[in-house]
Amino acid sequence: MTSSLAPLKKSFKAQMLEAREQAITDSVNRLLSEKGFDAMTVDEVAAEVGIAKASLYKHFNSKEELACAAMVQAMQKALAFLEELQAPPGLQSELAAPTQSPSSALNKLKATTRWTLELKLAGQMPTLPSHNSTLRASLMASRPYMDGLMNVSDKLGAWIVQAQKDGDINPALPPIAVLYTLYARACDPVVEFLKMSELHSNEEIIEMVMSTCFDGLKIRKN
C-alpha cells in the first residue's frame, strides 16, 4: 500500500513545462550576459528556444518577468556557492575551496569574487541596467529574488565585517560600500575590455581584476 506521505510523481506534462521554462531562463541568462537587458528582445528568446512567441508568453508575461526569472536563478546559484564555502573544508568542491585558509573571511570574499568573474568571462553572468523603473518594480515584487538577494548580502556582509576585524579590509570603509564594490565585479566593463584586447588569458584577466579590487592601485612599500 502506497503511503499517503510519499511524494507525488510529476506528470509528463509538468516535467515538459519545467524543462521548457528552464530552457527559456537559460536563454535569457545568456542573452542578458551577451547583450544586456535593453538590447535583448522577447523574439530573440523565443527563437533561440525554438518556440512561438505566443507560447513563451504562456510562461512569462513580459520581458521584465524573463529578466527577473534569470536573476532569481542567478541568486540561487550564488547562494548555493556561498553555502558551499561555509561547509567544512573536506566537503567543499574544488571550485568553492579558497586557495588559502578556509577560515579566512577575506579568502571567502576572494573566492566569491573569482567565481563571479569566471561566470562573467564564460558568458553566464546576466547584466541589468542600473536604471529601469519597470524592471526594478518586477524585481522588487519578486519574493524569491528579494529573499535571495538578502541572503547573499547577509552572508557577504558578515564576511566583510569579519575581514575588517581581522585587519584584511580597511575598517574605515562602510561595509555596504565594500559589498557594492564586490557586486560591481559582476558587471565590470574592465573584464570585457581586457577580453576584447585578446592580450590576456581569462586567468590573467581574473588576477588583474582581483588585484585592483582587493589590493588597489597603490604601490605597497615594505
User: What is the residue-level pLDDT of the chain in tens, covering all 222 positions?
Assistant: 455 555 567 786 777 778 888 899 999 999 998 888 889 999 999 999 999 999 898 889 999 999 999 999 999 999 999 999 987 665 555 555 544 445 699 999 999 999 999 999 998 888 887 777 888 888 999 999 999 999 999 999 999 999 999 999 999 999 999 999 999 998 888 999 999 999 999 999 999 999 999 998 876 665
- Which residue reads 567543499 in cell numbers? 92
**Residue 148: CATH number of its domain:** 1.10.357
The sign of the torsion formed by the CA atoms of 37, 43, 46, 49 equals negative
- Residue 53 inside a domain? The answer is no
- Residue 20 inside a domain? The answer is no
Say which DSSP state 159 is in: H
| Cβ pair 183, 120 in contact under 8 A | no
- Residue 141 inside a domain? The answer is yes
Please count the structural domains in the chain. Answer: 1
Query: Who's near 205: CB < 8 A, 6+ residues apart?
Result: 117, 121, 191, 194, 195
Domain that holds residue 104: 63-214
- Residue 79 inside a domain? The answer is yes
Which value, in Å, is the radius of gyration of the alpha carbons in the chain? 20
C-alpha cell at 135: 524592471
- Residue 4 inside a domain? The answer is no
Residue type at 217?
Answer: L
Cβ-in-10-Å burial (0-12, 13-18, 19+) of 69 comes to: buried
pLDDT given at position 220: 61
- What value, to the nearest 5°, has the Cα angle with vertex 122 and ends 118 and 123? 120
The rounded distance, in Å, linking the Cα atoms of 145 and 130 is 16
Residue type at 179?
Answer: L
- Residue 135 inside a domain? The answer is yes
The rounded distance, in Å, linking the Cα atoms of 24 and 69 is 9
Q: What is the pTM for the complete model shown?
A: 0.82
The rounded distance, in Å, linking the Cα atoms of 19 and 94 is 29
The rounded distance, in Å, linking the Cα atoms of 176 and 7 is 43
Helix (H) or strand (E) holding 180: helix 175-184
Helix (H) or strand (E) holding 209: helix 202-214
- Residue 18 inside a domain? The answer is no
- Residue 32 inside a domain? The answer is no
